[in-house]
Amino acid sequence: MAVVRPFMGIRPSKDLVEKVASLPYDVMNRKEANEMSAGNDYSFLHVVRAEIDVDDSVDQYDKVVYETARKNLDKMIEDKILVQDESPCYYIYRQIMDGRVQTGLVGCTSIDDYMNNVIKKHEFTRPAKEVDRINNFDYCDANTAPIFLTYRKNDELNKIINDYIKFNKPIYNFTSEDDITHIVWVINGDFIIDNISRIFENTEYLYIADGHHRSASSVKVGLKRREENPDFTGEEEFNYFLSVIFPDEDLFIMDYNRVVKDLNGYTKEEFLDKVKDNFLVEEYAGGSYRPVDKHTYGMYLDNKWYKITAKYEITNKENIVDRLDVAILQDNLLGPILDIKDPRTDKRIDFIGGIRGLKELERRVDEGMKVAFSMCPTTIDDLMEVADTGEVMPPKSTWFEPKLRSGLFVHRLS
């Protein structure tokens, strides 16, 4: 059963929260991070993307970047930009995007639950990306960004959270520059805290929705601290990592689309003939094509959109992963036709989150890529089924929106 516990959160001063809260570190490149933080000394990007404060000639994974992150975090605490609660609390974090609401509980989850698969995964991680967050968390002595978890909805917990919201004022309520509203309540009463912890003790599994690299990094930092403290009891903060936990019914998964640099030596006509072996191909005259049904895709090629539909014989699979749209496209088109053998490492393919829209696919192809594919979003039920069977999804299968803001909550490890 899941262990979830409150913590003494380090969080922004109320009058500075809008300036502190930033997009997560992994949805931008170095140049974009510089642009987003320009003129804002309070931005939490100075902690999660501290390369913005060193010379451009310095590699973003250099030791000096992580030392700068720690220095910046300490300065924000010293200057009271960030303040720490005096007792362990839970927090309610509500986000509103285009009128749709998702409400999560902020607390700390157990590295042992991660290792014992009480916290279930659905993606592989890449070692280089893990090392980056290991260094950030370790140097900062803190989880500087939360993990995005989900669970099968629990009516009792929903009632506790909704009642608390009804009768208590939020500590934060602001709308960020991307028109997403962020509202936070602090839960600091012993009775309600005990009730929340008890409910999670009776929750069989938690699932990673977004943040596989952050969670793996958090666990490895915790294990490193255990080695450094052989007499650890298990109660130390480094045994737990910062998480925001949402009920499955609240979550919204967008499409995660693909663009490819070339046609693997085929002409346009040869390529289309190859695609027709496993897909029905029809020209689409209605503008950009966004699929709404499983096993259908949009394909943008040579200034034209096509609707392609997977034939029954390649969708009729027993294994849940093999039935996923992302796997069908990979196993029957990207791999065998375009020779994208490992999409995690092949530099000929790029991935575009649905939040950027289909016009971004057109732009990328018009500016030099060769072909783009729009996808039907993976469902939360698919995600949980894959995790429950111990399988992993192909890379870049899910794009969750809205993203969790960084800087709203920091969890000290010691």
pLDDT digits (tens, 9 = 90+) for 34-92: 999 999 999 999 999 999 999 999 999 999 999 999 999 999 999 999 999 999 999 99
Domain 256-376 belongs to what topology? 3.30.1760
What is the percent of the chain where pLDDT is above 70? 100
What pTM value is reported for the model? Answer: 0.92
Start and end residues for every CATH 3.30.1760 domain found in the chain: 256-376
Q: Is the predicted pLDDT of residue 124 greater than 90, yes or no?
A: no
Q: Is the predicted pLDDT of residue 184 greater than 90, yes or no?
A: yes
Read out DSSP for 36-100? Answer: HHTT-TT-THHHHTGGGGS-TTS-TTSHHHHHHHHHHHHHHHHTTSEEE-SS-BEEEEEEEETTE
Instruction: Return the pLDDT at 344.
Output: 84
Over residues 153-179, the mean pLDDT reads 97
pLDDT digits (tens, 9 = 90+) for 395-404: 889 999 999 9
Q: Is the predicted pLDDT of residue 127 greater than 90, yes or no?
A: no
3-class SS at 240?
Answer: strand
pLDDT digits (tens, 9 = 90+) for 206-265: 999 999 999 999 999 999 999 999 999 999 999 999 999 999 999 999 999 999 999 999
pLDDT digits (tens, 9 = 90+) for 340-369: 999 988 999 999 999 999 999 999 999 999
The beta strand positions in 99-188, using DSSP E, are 100-110, 119-120, 142-143, 147-151, 172-175, 181-187
What is the percent of the chain where pLDDT is above 90? 95
Token representation of residue 405: 């803001």
- If pLDDT is split at 50, 70 and 90, which confidence band does 126 have? confident
